[in-house]
């Protein structure tokens, strides 16, 4: 195995993480906060360590293949959270809490153990936002440039042209990252500018833009987006959360190359928008039937509030304007199902993803047709193309691992003493990288701070598995991988 490219990539990512701490350091200095040495020391440490890894690698990538790509993909999402946790420990958080917050940030899950955010130093609040923004672009590049090459979870459907793995792994990532990075930065700036026009101050706008475009959900307030309740920022956030759930490769084609047709004709955005509207109308009607005062008094605001929380949960952003888990049991069950759905492949969103939902549905339908007519040949199509057995198997394996991880995590959480709703929703929101769970302990009005340390680690591991698309991790557990 050629490890130099892995060491080089880890060195670059570590150095970038250290450089990202500098604005937090300067902000705390400007605010006169005593916590600024935490970021000064952390940034210096990571820059030196990252630079050392780059020198150790020789500074030049070698010819690489799938094994190096698998190893790098997993190591990046395991090593970087440990580095990113240093500032949290520097302000007095325990190792478990710091790792939980760091993993939740970089995986853009948005679950938090922190409270009293309104009074926290702006440096640490900015760091949380930077972690999610940093993780968001990493997730998009992984989904577009790496996972298709590794044929993980059916992502080979979205393999780019001329993406032969051998000897082209690093150049391919650089090529894809440049285009996606431009779009990601442009949308982030547009989101921040829009938030400022909607009444947020500059710091609030930048921090929330970072976590919106990354589909992360970290806020600078304990009330989350409820701090901007009944302002124009709420519909603006709905728009940008939907953008974050769309395929960034298609957004790049539309915004850079002027090719809008692929974005319109692709089956993923259509299903994505259809589910958002269908779930929103269903929840809103149930709220009307329940005669909830707010909805009856102001149905327009009630619909916007409903759509905001549906989009936030479905994309995995995890913002909340109100405790939606108090809207009644039928609505709570709908939100629990919505947690699993996710956005489009190649987006910042989480979950099972639209293409896997459609392929799974079509596979079930095809099996039912064959049971009725055993001699009938039924081909499964997606986007007008026949799905080959390799892709279908890859999707089915992903769905199985997804559900199996959720079930195991829920059982383990229940064994720590959590009630059924907390255990089930905690496992679901962690493996789906959504953020808040349901119920009084980890719901939208609460944090994960009340979980035991074991419970926090169970959720953190589930977050990593969900963000790594499961298969990449389990491949590293096989003897054949290490034997070559």
- Give pLDDT tens digits for 399-408: 999 999 999 9
Strands 381-382 vs 385-386: parallel, antiparallel or unpaired? antiparallel
Residue 386's SS3 state is strand
Residue 438 · residue 336 · CB < 8 Å: yes
Q: Which two tokens stand for residue 287?
A: 């709220």
Helix extents (H) in 85-168: 86-90, 95-106, 122-141, 147-150
Q: Which two tokens stand for residue 371?
A: 């049971």
382 beta partners: 385
Residue 73 has pLDDT above 90, yes or no: no
pLDDT at 167 (0 to 100) = 42
Distance CA 222, CA 88 (A): 17
Domain map of the chain by residue range? 4-247
Residue 388's SS3 state is coil
pTM of model > 0.85? yes
pLDDT in tens, 135-148: 998 888 887 877 77
386 beta partners: 381
Local confidence band at 162 (pLDDT 50, 70, 90 cut-offs): very low
Q: Over the chain, what is the mean pLDDT?
A: 87
Give the sign of the dihedral formed by CA 296, CA 315, CA 405, CA 400: positive
Residue 117's SS3 state is helix
Residue 123 · residue 39 · CB < 8 Å: yes
pLDDT at 98 (0 to 100) = 96
The CA dihedral of 407, 410, 413, 414, to the nearest 10 degrees, is -110
Helix extents (H) in 342-388: 354-372
Helix axes 299-315, 233-244, angle to 10 degrees: 30
The CA dihedral of 97, 103, 108, 114, to the nearest 10 degrees, is 10
Poorest-confidence range of 162-166, 297-301, 309-313?
Answer: 162-166
Distance CA 100, CA 109 (A): 10
Q: Of 454, 399, 473, which Cα lies nearest the Cα of 432?
A: 399
**Residue matched to tokens 């049971």:** 371
pLDDT at 166 (0 to 100) = 39
Phi, psi of 373 (to 5 degrees): -125, 85
* Count of C-beta atoms within a 10 Å radius of residue 369: 11
Give the sign of the dihedral formed by CA 196, CA 198, CA 204, CA 209: negative
Which residues neighbour 224 within 8 Å (Cβ) at sequence distance 6 or greater? Answer: 217, 319, 320, 321, 444
Helix H or strand E encompassing 271: helix 267-289
Which residues neighbour 24 within 8 Å (Cβ) at sequence distance 6 or greater? Answer: 39, 87, 123, 124, 126, 127, 130
Concatenated DSSP letters of 297-353: H-HHHHHHHHHHHHHHHHHT----SS-GGGS-HHHHHHHHHHHHH---TTSS--SS-
pLDDT at 1 (0 to 100) = 58
Which residues neighbour 445 within 8 Å (Cβ) at sequence distance 6 or greater? Answer: 320, 323
Give the sign of the dihedral formed by CA 53, CA 56, CA 62, CA 68: negative
Give the sign of the dihedral formed by CA 355, CA 361, CA 362, CA 364: positive
pLDDT in tens, 91-138: 999 999 999 999 999 999 999 999 899 999 999 999 999 999 999 988
Distance CA 469, CA 431 (A): 10
Local confidence band at 39 (pLDDT 50, 70, 90 cut-offs): very high
Which residues neighbour 209 within 8 Å (Cβ) at sequence distance 6 or greater? Answer: 188, 189, 191, 192, 195, 240
381 beta partners: 386
Mean pLDDT along residues 17-40:
93
Residue 345 · residue 158 · CB < 8 Å: yes
Mean pLDDT along residues 42-70:
81
* Count of C-beta atoms within a 10 Å radius of residue 96: 18
Q: Which two tokens stand for residue 13?
A: 């990512």
Q: Of 134, 172, 6, 141, which Cα lies nearest the Cα of 74?
A: 6
Give the residue, 245 or 296, on which the prediction is more confident.
245
Mean pLDDT along residues 443-470:
91
Q: Of 277, 302, 278, 273, which Cα lies nearest the Cα of 289?
A: 302
Residue 170 has pLDDT above 70, yes or no: no
């Amino acid at each position: 195995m050629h490890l130099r490219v892995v060491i080089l990539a880890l060195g670059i990512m570590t150095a970038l993480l250290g450089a990202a701490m500098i604005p937090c350091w300067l902000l705390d200095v400007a605010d006169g906060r005593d916590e600024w040495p935490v970021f000064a020391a952390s940034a210096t440490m990571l820059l030196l360590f990252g630079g050392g890894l780059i020198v150790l690698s020789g500074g030049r990538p070698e010819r690489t293949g799938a094994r190096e790509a698998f190893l790098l993909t997993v190591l990046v999402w395991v090593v970087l959270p440990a580095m990113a946790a240093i500032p949290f420990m520097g302000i007095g958080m325990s190792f478990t809490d710091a790792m939980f917050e760091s993993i939740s940030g970089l995986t853009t899950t948005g679950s938090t153990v922190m409270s009293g955010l309104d009074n926290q130093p702006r440096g640490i609040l900015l760091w949380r936002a930077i972690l999610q923004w940093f993780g968001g672009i990493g997730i998009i590049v992984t989904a577009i440039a790496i996972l298709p090459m590794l044929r993980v979870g059916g992502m080979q459907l979205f393999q780019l042209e001329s993406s032969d793995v051998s000897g082209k792994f690093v150049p391919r990532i650089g090529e894809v990252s440049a285009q996606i990075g431009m779009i990601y930065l442009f949308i982030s700036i547009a989101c921040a500018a829009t938030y400022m026009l909607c009444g947020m101050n500059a710091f609030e706008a930048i921090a929330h833009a970072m976590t919106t475009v990354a589909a992360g959900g970290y806020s600078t307030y304990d009330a989350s987006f409820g701090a901007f309740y009944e302002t124009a920022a709420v519909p603006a956030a709905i728009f940008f959360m939907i953008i974050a759930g769309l395929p960034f490769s298609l957004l790049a084609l539309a915004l850079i190359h002027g090719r809008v047709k692929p974005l319109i004709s692709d089956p993923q955005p259509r299903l994505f928008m259809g589910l958002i509207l269908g779930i929103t109308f269903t929840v809103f009607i149930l709220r009307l039937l329940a005669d909830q005062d707010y909805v009856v008094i102001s149905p327009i605001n009630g619909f916007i509030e409903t759509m905001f929380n549906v989009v936030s949960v479905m994309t995995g952003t995890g913002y909340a304007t109100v405790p939606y888990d108090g809207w009644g049991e039928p609505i709570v069950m709908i939100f629990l199902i919505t947690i699993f759905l996710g956005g489009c492949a190649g987006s910042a969103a989480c979950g099972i993803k639209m293409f896997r939902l459609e392929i799974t549905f079509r596979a079930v339908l095809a099996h039912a047709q064959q049971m009725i007519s055993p001699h009938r040949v039924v081909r499964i199509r997606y986007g007008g193309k026949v799905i080959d057995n390799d892709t279908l198997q890859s999707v089915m394996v992903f769905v199985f691992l997804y559900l199996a991880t959720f079930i195991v995590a829920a059982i383990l959480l229940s064994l720590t003493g959590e009630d059924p709703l907390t255990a089930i929703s905690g496992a679901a929101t962690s493996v789906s990288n959504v953020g808040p769970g349901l119920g009084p302990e980890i719901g939208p009005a609460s944090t994960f701070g009340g979980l035991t340390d074991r419970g926090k680690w169970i959720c953190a591991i589930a977050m990593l598995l969900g963000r790594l698309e499961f298969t990449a991790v389990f491949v590293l557990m096989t003897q054949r991988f290490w034997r070559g």
